[in-house]
Amino acid sequence: MRIGIMADTHDCLPLVERAVEVLNREGVGLVLHAGDYVAPFALKVLESLEAPVIGVFGNNDGDREALRKTASDGGKVDLRGDYARTKAGGLCIGLVHGHDTGQIASLIERGDLDVLVSGHTHHPLIGRHGGTLMINPGEICGYLTGTPTLAVLETEIKEAHLVRL
């Protein structure tokens, strides 16, 4: 299974649209969003994804109720709060925004996740901590780094690669 991973869209609709095009072309079966949509209208663009979306809130997602309503109205995005855990492609995957470093440390210490996805820093990172594959897809918006990126996880080999938008 291929899983698309994105974070930190920050209302940059042209790049969110580009990310949707790329993920649809990549044929992903699931998309994980590590938060910071910012405004509800950014969720509307995700409705064009051919795969379901699981997302969490980020520290810049101000009107959470409006985001929840938009997500439930469209039906494509399963917005789960500050933490999500899912099984996909035979892997146990945790999803957080990443601004709470204590939360990340606690999840790593538990040692029961195959993959931990986070965002927040806007800097892409793929690495391992013990048996856990750590993935930060970077930023869709390109505001801080100037390089918009997302990641694709290949569950069968438990490896991820970055895709530059």
For residue 98, what are the domain limits?
Answer: 2-164
DSSP codes joined into one string, 90-125: TEEEEEE-SS-HHHHHHHHHH---SEEE--SS-S-E
Give the CATH number, domain containing residue 116: 3.60.21.10
Taking the C-alpha atoms of residue 136 and residue 62, their distance in angstroms, rounded to an integer, is 22
Taking the C-alpha atoms of residue 96 and residue 94, their distance in angstroms, rounded to an integer, is 7
Predicted confidence at residue 79, as pLDDT, reads 97
Predicted confidence at residue 38, as pLDDT, reads 96
Number of domains in the chain: 1
Angle at 26 between CA 60 and CA 46, to 5 degrees: 35
Q: What is the pLDDT of residues 73-94, one digit of tens each?
A: 988 899 999 999 999 999 999 9
Predicted confidence at residue 60, as pLDDT, reads 97
Note if the pTM is more than 0.75: yes
Residues in the chain with pLDDT values less than 70: none
Predicted confidence at residue 75, as pLDDT, reads 86
Task: Give the rounded percent of residues in the chain with a pLDDT score beyond 90.
Answer: 98
